[in-house]
Chains A and B, each alone.
Chain A
Amino acid sequence: MSMATITMARDTSSAVSTADVRRARRKQNLTGWLFISPIVVGVVAFQFFPILVSIGASLTDWNGIAPPKFVGLKNFTEMFTDDPLFLQTFKNTVYFTLASIPLTIGIGLILALLCARPIKGVAFFRTAYFAPYVTNVVAIGFVWFWFFQPDNGVINGLLHQLGINGPQWLSSSSWAMPAVIMVSVWQGIGYPMIILLAGLQGLPNEFYESARIDGAGAWQRLRFITLPLLTPHFLFLLITQFISSFQVFGLIYVMTKGGPGHATSVYIYNIYQNAFSYGKVGYASAMAWILFVVIAAVTFLQWKLQKRWVFYS
C-alpha cells in the first residue's frame, strides 16, 4: 500500500507545474490553520489579550470600571513597604507550602510503596487513598469544618476519648493553619502516590537482582536503588506541588475565609479579595505578576539544582 503511494506521488510531482505546487501548499497551510483556529482564537482572546491588559493594569490605580490612572511602579513598591497584609499572606503561603509539600510527597511515597506490591485487594486500597483527590473542595471543606469544631467536633471528640483536651482548631490563630494543612495533605496525597507508583512500576529489575546477589537488605535496596531511581519523579513532584500549593484557594475559602484574623489568608485569597471584594484591580494584577515571578524563579531554581541530586540512569 505505501509503495503504491510513493510511486503515485512521484508520478504526479513530475507532471505538475510549480504553480500547482504552490497552490497545493497554500491549501495545506489553510487546512492546518483551520484545524487549529479554535484554540488559536481562544488563546489570543482569553489569554494573550488579558495578559497584556493585566500587565498594563498592574501599573495603574484601577477599579475596573472608571478609567485607569497610571501610577508607574507604585503598586509594587506599596506591596513591600506599605502593606502588612501582603507580607503576612505571603508568609502564610510559604508556611502552607513548606509544610504541605514534604507531607504529601512523603506519605505519597509510603502509600506508593505499599501499593506497588501485588497483593490481593490492592486496587481497593489505591482507590480509597485516591478518593479524596477527586472529591470537590466544598464537600471536603464542610466535612472537616465540622470535624474541627472545638466543642462537639469529631476530632476533639476522638482526642477526648484519649484523655486529651483538643485545641480550638479553626478559631485559634496558631492551630487554624495546621488544621488546613492537614486537610490539604489528606486530600492531595493521591496525586504524588499515583506518580510514584507509576515510577516504581517502571523501575528496571536488573538492579534489584544484582543487589540481592550482593546481599543487600530491603532497607538498603530502598535507600540505594529505589529512591535514587525515583529522583526524576521527585523533581517533577517538587515543581508541580510547589506551583499548586502556592496557589491554594478552595480549602481556605470554604473552611476559614482567611481567618481567624488573617491567620490563614493566603496569596491567592488576598488577590481574590482585592480584585473581587475591594475592586482594587490594578493592585491585584500587580500581585498576580509578583506571583508569576516567584513561581518562575523557584521552578527555575529547582531545575538548575537538579544536577546535585537527580539521578538519570
Chain B
Amino acid sequence: MRIVGKTSQYVVMSLFAVAFLAPLVWMISASLRPEAKVLSSPPKFLPTDTQWSNYGEVFDLIPVFLWNSVKLAGLNVIGILIVASMAGYAFARLKFAGRDIAFMVLLATSIIPGIAYLIPQYIVFQHIGWVDTQYPLWVPKVLTPVFATFLMRQSFLTIPNELEDAGKIDGASTFGIYWRIMLPQTKPALAAIGVFTFLESWNDLFGPLIYITSENLQTLPVALAQFQGEYFTKISLLMAGATISVVPVIAVFLFAQRYFIQGITMTGMKG
C-alpha cells in the first residue's frame, strides 16, 4: 500500500498515537498532581507539580482490592486452563459415545446472550448463600469455558499422532498422555487463553457489581467505581487508583502481546 509517502505516514500514525495515548497519559499525570491543579485551563497532559504522596495515600486504601483482583484472576486463569484443556483434549483426541453431539451442544450455548442466564444465576446463588461471596466470580466461569475449550480442541487437533502413539506404547495412562505429552505441545494456545482470561477477570465490571457488597471482597476497578464518594473523594486519588488498576493489565499485555493477538485472530477468522 503505497498511498502516502513514508514521512506523511509517520505524521498520520503519530497523530493517531497521540489521540489514543493522551487520555492515558493524562490519567497518570493527574494522579501525580495536587488536587487543585488536576483540572487546569488550558489543559495540561504532562506531569507538573509532581506530588508522589497521592500514591502513598492510595496505597493505604487499595491493598485489599488489589489482592482480590489478583486472587480472582489467578483462580480464573488456572481453573479455565485445566477445565478447557481437559475438555479440548477429549474432544480432539479421544473417541467416546456422544462426543460430537456434546461438543455441538456446548458451542450452541454461546449464542444465548449472557444476561439471559445471569439473572436466574443470581437468584440461584441468592438461595444457596453465594451472594456477597467471591464464588460467583470464579466458580461458574471456571466451569463453563466454552470458547477456551474450542481453542484448545483446535490446538490439540494439530499435534501429530506419533507423539500420542509413543506414549501408548510406553504404557502411559490417558491422563498421563494428556498431561505429560500433549499439554506441553499446546503452549501458545494455553498462553493466549491465559492472557484473555486474565484480562477478562481483571476488567470484569458486571459480576463484582451485582454480587459484591462487602468492601473487603471487592475488586480494584469496581471498588473505584463503587467507593468513589467514600474513599476516593479526590480526582487525583481516583486517577492514582485507576492508574494502579491499569498497570498490571498493560504489563501482561506488553509481555504477552504476541499470544494475545494470535488468540484474537485465531478466534476471529477460523471457520
User: Contacts A39-B84, A42-B144, A136-B249: A4 and B169 contacting too (C-beta < 8 A)?
Assistant: yes
A301 within 8 A of B: no
Contact with A along B162-199 (1 / 0, CB 8 A): 10011011000010001000000000000000000001
Cβ–Cβ contact B120 & A127, under 8 A: no
List the one stretch of A78-86, A97-105, A138-146, A167-175 in contact with chain B: A138-146
User: Contacts A48-B109, A128-B20, A143-B239: A32 and B1 contacting too (C-beta < 8 A)?
Assistant: no
Pick the contact of A5 from B9, B40, B168 — CB < 8 Å? B168
Cβ–Cβ contact A143 & B123, under 8 A: no
Cβ–Cβ contact A53 & B120, under 8 A: yes
Cβ–Cβ contact B116 & A139, under 8 A: no
CB neighbours of B66 from chain A (8 A): none
Cβ–Cβ contact B169 & A42, under 8 A: no
A76 within 8 A of B: no
For the complex formed, measure the closest distance between the CB of B195 and the CB atoms of chain A, giving whole angstroms.
9
Cβ–Cβ contact B116 & A288, under 8 A: yes
Contact with A along B132-161 (1 / 0, CB 8 A): 000000001011111001000000000001
Q: Is the interface of B mostly helix, strand, loop or mixed?
A: helix
User: Contacts A154-B26, A219-B3: A127 and B257 contacting too (C-beta < 8 A)?
Assistant: yes
Smallest CB-CB separation from A123: which chain B residue? B257
A232-262: which have CB < 8 Å to B? 232-233, 236, 240, 247, 249-250, 253-254
A-B CB proximity, top 8 nearest: A42-B143, A32-B96, A35-B90, A50-B117, A139-B242, A53-B120, A50-B120, A198-B265
Q: How far is the CA of A245 from the CA of B119 in the complex (A)?
A: 20
B233-271: which have CB < 8 Å to A? 235, 238-239, 242-243, 245-246, 249-250, 253-254, 257, 260-261, 264-265, 268-269
B104 within 8 A of A: no
A205 within 8 A of B: no
User: Contacts A138-B222, A199-B269: A38 and B83 contacting too (C-beta < 8 A)?
Assistant: yes
* A contact residues, range: 35 or more
Cβ–Cβ contact B41 & A152, under 8 A: yes
Cβ–Cβ contact B27 & A139, under 8 A: yes
Q: How far is the CA of A110 from the CA of B112 in the complex (A)?
A: 33
Cβ–Cβ contact A36 & B116, under 8 A: no
Contact with B along A113-154 (1 / 0, CB 8 A): 111110100001101111110111111111110110100111
Q: How far is the CA of A135 from the CA of B253 in the complex (A)?
A: 10
For the complex formed, measure the closest distance between the CB of B264 and the CB atoms of chain A, giving whole angstroms.
5
Cβ–Cβ contact B120 & A39, under 8 A: no
Q: Is the interface of A mostly helix, strand, loop or mixed?
A: helix
Smallest CB-CB separation from A194: which chain B residue? B264
For the complex formed, measure the closest distance between the CB of B259 and the CB atoms of chain A, giving whole angstroms.
13
Pick the contact of B115 from A124, A138, A199, A271 — CB < 8 Å? A271
For the complex formed, measure the closest distance between the CB of A213 and the CB atoms of chain B, giving whole angstroms.
16
Cβ–Cβ contact B17 & A5, under 8 A: no
Q: How far is the CA of A198 from the CA of B82 in the complex (A)?
A: 29
CB neighbours of A195 from chain B (8 A): 264-265, 268-269
Most buried by B among A135, A144, A218, A295: A135
CB neighbours of A2 from chain B (8 A): 161-162, 165
List the one stretch of A13-21, A87-95, A157-165, A305-313 in contact with chain B: A157-165
CB neighbours of B121 from chain A (8 A): 46, 50
For the complex formed, measure the closest distance between the CB of B246 and the CB atoms of chain A, giving whole angstroms.
5
Cβ–Cβ contact B238 & A142, under 8 A: yes
Contact with A along B210-221 (1 / 0, CB 8 A): 100000000001
Mind listing 14 A-B residue pairs with CB under 8 Å? Answer: A1-B169, A28-B94, A29-B97, A35-B86, A39-B146, A51-B116, A64-B122, A142-B224, A154-B43, A198-B265, A247-B115, A249-B206, A253-B209, A292-B112
CB neighbours of A42 from chain B (8 A): 83, 140, 142-144
Cβ–Cβ contact B224 & A222, under 8 A: no
- Other A-B contacts than A43-B143, A53-B124, 9 sampled, CB-CB below 8 A, are A4-B169, A29-B96, A54-B117, A54-B119, A136-B245, A139-B27, A143-B239, A146-B38, A288-B119
B53 within 8 A of A: no
Pick the contact of B246 from A139, A153, A218 — CB < 8 Å? A139
Q: How far is the CA of A272 from the CA of B118 in the complex (A)?
A: 10
For the complex formed, measure the closest distance between the CB of A164 and the CB atoms of chain B, giving whole angstroms.
13
User: Contacts A5-B169, A198-B265: A35 and B42 contacting too (C-beta < 8 A)?
Assistant: no
A181 within 8 A of B: no
Cβ–Cβ contact B3 & A296, under 8 A: no
For the complex formed, measure the closest distance between the CB of A90 and the CB atoms of chain B, giving whole angstroms.
15
Cβ–Cβ contact A191 & B242, under 8 A: no
Cβ–Cβ contact B83 & A39, under 8 A: yes
Q: How far is the CA of A100 from the CA of B166 in the complex (A)?
A: 53
Q: How far is the CA of A254 from the CA of B225 in the complex (A)?
A: 7
CB neighbours of B225 from chain A (8 A): 138, 141, 253-254
User: Contacts A32-B90, A127-B254, A160-B42: A247 and B113 contacting too (C-beta < 8 A)?
Assistant: yes
